[in-house]
A and B are shown apart, each in its own frame.
Chain A
């Protein structure tokens, strides 16, 4: 009995540093934000509890609902494009082509370059006067004059997505490539012996066996993209006229720009709920997939 108890205590002692760290860095701010979301905290020293007022305001005013919808659309396109390009990239990198290693290395820069530098580079590329994209399109006669891609709502929305895709694709590609390479070569040889062509093998062997990797990557990418802040903030700061304002940008603007901490906290809580739901879906999928494997 005594030895069991000392073993338990020892386990807690080992866990204590991590536990203290998590409580301080994660749990306390989370709880504080939650409490703050029911107050009218601002730059003033004192604040009052206002009940559900913040939540009623953000959902009642209409604006935040638009932001939520925009965030989901932005995330949906960004994640979908990343998955499609990542899969195509993995297929190409997995093919027995000369210079395979070089191509694999060449996929990495967007991931290796510090994110802010990459985003600034895109910012310049989107620039109407000096930007490469506008310049090239003018040279080819596709557009008549300079196009400032970040100056219009529609183009800015897609420009931020393209940059997010550029940064996110290498990880998806490498992850898919790893998953693809873990599929035994024998399966392809057996299928080839049975007369299955490249497309058939991809459809009936590669793709179904990649499903766990696709689900896992989609959910991880969904969580990261949903919370993507730096790209939009550096490129457009949510503009023009809010056309690239996603939930995380809106929260930052409310809390830090307008100093409405209480309202910002309520927005943060809503984000937290959405992300928690994604995480829940992710863990469920992982559990289901590992159960499937065990079978």
Chain B
């Protein structure tokens, strides 16, 4: 049985429709990540699940029970805020104990639960400190501790790592994944960072302008994006898009005219795309140096040498930006013509509406 179920969920602020009919099922113990650009409605959706925003239309069910009109505390959720929302005047202990104090639990029980949370989060030596005396990562852990002690059915995280520096963020990412393993609880996590989404999620929900663009496992989304938006959003550097026109689609091969780059023949069974303006997508990391199945000649205008790999940025004759990512340190220099190629199997094809063609 799914633990959280969203049915035709909608949210409007006055005239503006922010969430436009979302259907989603989340299974028990799943780590689900809502990802999307700023303003796509991911935080609003999370806040609706938490009970911090009213539902305009549709239903939210938690554990089979409609919770639309229940206050947050009765929904069995706990939320970790982007700003951590720690009480600056209380000690770490009191911050973590806050939900238990509200519940008026006996002191012995509070001690036990706070102690257990502090142990899991390695905060034992910090319990008497104030939040202001802690580092960003420690504050984050206190916020998580406050969520843990409530023993919720579902944890909600609203961009919890966005205030941390890069090094700490990857450290905390691992800690959160370990925590998920240890607790086995359902976690819903909002981020705009697709690396966080890819590394942490069992299931990613890509949101765009208040609608779900695609739901799937990280690798599904990476290898089989349903549309141009997901293709462009998942993956870093982002997928290259080349505009073309379908010259023929015979049920086994689609021939795409890429102008001066040549004719690209892709194995596709669709015939509906015949004559359409289409987009071919190819990931920068799927490019190889030298000749191959489909070869492009470009002149990089910027080259980044990152040691582990090299990234070359150029512009195609049609005006599209084109990025190639190559392993190691090949001899590439800006302004020097370069022949790169890709395998036809790695190419993606999107029709005139931006939907993937298989």
Q: Which residues of A contact B (CB under 8 A)?
A: 184, 186-187, 189-196, 200, 204-205, 208-209, 211, 293, 295
Contact, CB under 8 Å: A190 / B102: no
Residues of A within 8 A of B82 (CB): 186
- Binary interface encoding of chain B residues 259-279 relative to chain A, with 1 for a CB under 8 A from any of its CBs, else 0: 000000000000000000000
**With the chains together, A227 CA to B327 CA distance in Å?**
78
Contact, CB under 8 Å: A194 / B102: yes
- Binary interface encoding of chain B residues 196-223 relative to chain A, with 1 for a CB under 8 A from any of its CBs, else 0: 0000000000000000000000000000
Nearest-neighbour CB distance to chain A for B128, whole angstroms, equals: 13
B98 at the interface (CB under 8 A from A): yes
Contact, CB under 8 Å: B51 / A193: yes
B78 at the interface (CB under 8 A from A): yes
From A192, A194, A205, B150 is in contact (CB under 8 Å) with A194
Name the residue on A nearest B89 (C-beta).
Answer: A208
Nearest-neighbour CB distance to chain A for B233, whole angstroms, equals: 27
Residues of B within 8 A of A184 (CB): 83, 85
The list of the 4 closest CB pairs from A to B, nearest first, reads: A195-B73, A194-B99, A190-B85, A186-B85
B313 at the interface (CB under 8 A from A): no
Residues of B within 8 A of A193 (CB): 50-52, 72-73, 77-79
B146 at the interface (CB under 8 A from A): yes
Contact, CB under 8 Å: B73 / A187: no
User: How many residues on the B side are at the interface (Cβ–Cβ under 8 A)?
Assistant: 26
Residues of B within 8 A of A189 (CB): 52, 79, 81, 85
B132 at the interface (CB under 8 A from A): yes
Residues of A within 8 A of B83 (CB): 184, 186
Instruction: Knowing A189-B52, A192-B72 are in contact, say whether A209-B89 is a contact too (CB < 8 A).
Output: yes
B318 at the interface (CB under 8 A from A): no
B229 at the interface (CB under 8 A from A): no
Instruction: Knowing A190-B85, A205-B87, A209-B89 are in contact, say whether A195-B72 is a contact too (CB < 8 A).
Output: yes
Nearest-neighbour CB distance to chain A for B156, whole angstroms, equals: 9
B103 at the interface (CB under 8 A from A): yes
Residues of B within 8 A of A209 (CB): 88-89
Instruction: Knowing A189-B52, A295-B130, A295-B133 are in contact, say whether A194-B85 is a contact too (CB < 8 A).
Output: no
Given contacts A192-B52, A194-B78, A195-B72, 11 further A-B contacts (CB under 8 A): A184-B83, A189-B85, A190-B146, A191-B102, A193-B52, A193-B77, A193-B78, A194-B146, A195-B103, A205-B87, A209-B88
Nearest-neighbour CB distance to chain A for B15, whole angstroms, equals: 19
Task: Tell me which residues from 117 to 149 in chain B have a Cβ below 8 Å from any Cβ of chain A.
Answer: 130, 132-133, 146
Contact, CB under 8 Å: A187 / B102: no
B85, B103, B130 — which one has the most chain A CB atoms within 10 A of its CB? B85
Task: Tell me which residues from 56 to 109 in chain B have a Cβ below 8 Å from any Cβ of chain A.
Answer: 71-73, 77-79, 81-83, 85, 87-89, 98-99, 101-103
Residues of B within 8 A of A208 (CB): 89
Task: Tell me which residues from 249 to 297 in chain B have a Cβ below 8 Å from any Cβ of chain A.
Answer: none
Nearest-neighbour CB distance to chain B for A197, whole angstroms, equals: 8
